[in-house]
């Protein structure tokens, strides 16, 4: 039994015995391997996020949460090879590169038979030229996208000009081998694209960002025709038509753009807040819209590339 198949079998063995723990010696006997190999395998499972845990002392051992085990994944050899190619394209500058590596380990641990052999064979045939990366910047961008929080950036544009920005992340764009953070830039009061390898520093905040529509932010740029990759279609939930005009309902025009319309019906979350706070929020939103309309010169659409970070 190769290591990939053994890791999956080890998980299933722990799941079948749960909640009763199994000792390292018992697992070594079951798989006819050394206790040292079992300990290495259990440590590998821990590092990939599999919910295994150990209980010390008499009657203790290793156990797993039975609800958290991975079911078998039945890939064809072609599908397994495609996964290897897709993961190889996730270089150190790509968003969530670290998570992609752990996901690859979990996928590999769940594969058996021809698919397992195919993914290993393809992985051995792919090489890449490494590029420098800033893990702190990447992590800050990833977290801002996941939590929908405001991000503070230090950015160097194509001309070498440096600037500090406060942005509200909307999504990611990949084009010509580069990744861009598409965001609403508070400094420019417009949608802007920030190439990830030109972000020199990024500091997360706890402030919640408004929801912005990627299509609206890219309108007028050379990236206006950007579409979702067809391979991601199965992962994308179907979007229903918005039920009301309240903020956050559906994917209407981006918040704060000249194309957006003020909400006429407060959301349930708005009604839970004190009346004074709701009034103040509405005033702030009106002032913000007015500022955007006053800066139409800065919102002139670029002629090439994604919205520039100027």
127-137 pLDDT, tens digit each: 888 777 788 89
**Minimum mean pLDDT range among 12-16, 205-209, 239-243:** 239-243
* pLDDT value of position 31: 86
User: 144, 169 in Cβ contact below 8 A?
Assistant: yes
Q: How far is CA 242 from the centre of its chain?
A: 25
Whether 111 shows a pLDDT value over 60: the answer reads yes
Q: Which of 128, 186, 188, 146 is nearest to 308 (CA)?
A: 188
Percent of the chain with pLDDT over 90: 27
Task: Residue 156: count other Cβ atoms within 10 Å of its Cβ.
Answer: 15
Task: Residue 94: count other Cβ atoms within 10 Å of its Cβ.
Answer: 16
* Runs of H (alpha helix) within the chain: 3-17, 24-31, 35-47, 77-88, 97-110, 113-124, 135-147, 214-218, 268-272, 275-294
Mean pLDDT of 291-304: 43
What's the mean per-residue pLDDT of the chain? Answer: 77
- At 308, the pLDDT band (50, 70, 90 cuts) reads low
Whether 207 shows a pLDDT value over 60: the answer reads yes
pLDDT tens figures, 146-202: 999 999 999 999 899 999 999 999 999 998 888 999 999 998 999 999 999 999 999
pLDDT tens figures, 227-267: 888 888 877 766 554 443 333 322 222 333 333 333 333 44
Instruction: Round to whole Å and give the CA distance between 4 and 112.
Output: 8
DSSP state of 151: E
Mean pLDDT of 274-284: 66
Burial annotation 186-207 (CB, 10 A radius, 16+ → b, else e): bebbbbbbbbbbbbeebebeee
* pLDDT value of position 239: 58
Q: Which of 188, 138, 209, 130 is nearest to 309 (CA)?
A: 188
């Amino acid at each position: 039994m190769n290591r990939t198949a053994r890791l999956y079998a080890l998980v299933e063995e722990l799941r079948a015995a749960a909640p009763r723990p199994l000792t390292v010696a018992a697992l070594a006997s079951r798989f006819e391997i050394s206790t040292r190999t079992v300990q290495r395998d259990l440590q590998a499972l821990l590092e990939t996020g599999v919910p295994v845990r150990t209980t010390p002392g008499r009657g203790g051992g290793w156990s797993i949460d039975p609800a958290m085990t991975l079911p078998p994944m039945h890939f064809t050899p072609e599908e397994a090879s495609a996964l290897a190619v897709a993961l190889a394209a996730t270089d150190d500058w790509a968003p969530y590169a670290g998570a992609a590596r752990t996901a690859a380990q979990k996928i590999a641990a769940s594969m058996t038979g021809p698919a397992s052999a195919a993914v290993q064979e393809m992985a051995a045939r792919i090489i890449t030229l490494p590029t420098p990366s800033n893990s702190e910047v990447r992590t800050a961008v990833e977290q801002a996208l996941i939590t929908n929080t405001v991000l503070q950036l230090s950015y160097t544009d194509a001309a070498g000009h440096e600037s500090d920005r406060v942005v509200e992340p909307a999504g990611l764009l990949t084009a010509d081998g580069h990744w861009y953070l598409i965001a609403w830039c508070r400094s420019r009061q417009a949608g802007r694209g920030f190439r990830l390898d030109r972000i020199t520093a990024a500091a997360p905040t706890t402030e919640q960002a408004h929801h912005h529509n990627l299509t609206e932010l890219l309108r007028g740029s050379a990236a206006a025709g950007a579409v979702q990759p067809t391979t991601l279609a199965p992962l994308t939930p179907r979007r229903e038509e918005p039920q009301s005009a309240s903020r956050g309902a559906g994917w209407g025009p981006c918040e704060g753009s000249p194309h957006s319309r003020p909400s006429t019906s407060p959301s349930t979350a708005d009604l839970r807040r004190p009346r004074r706070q709701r009034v103040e929020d509405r005033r702030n939103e009106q002032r913000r819209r007015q500022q955007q309309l006053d800066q139409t010169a800065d919102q002139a659409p670029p002629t090439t590339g994604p919205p520039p970070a100027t």
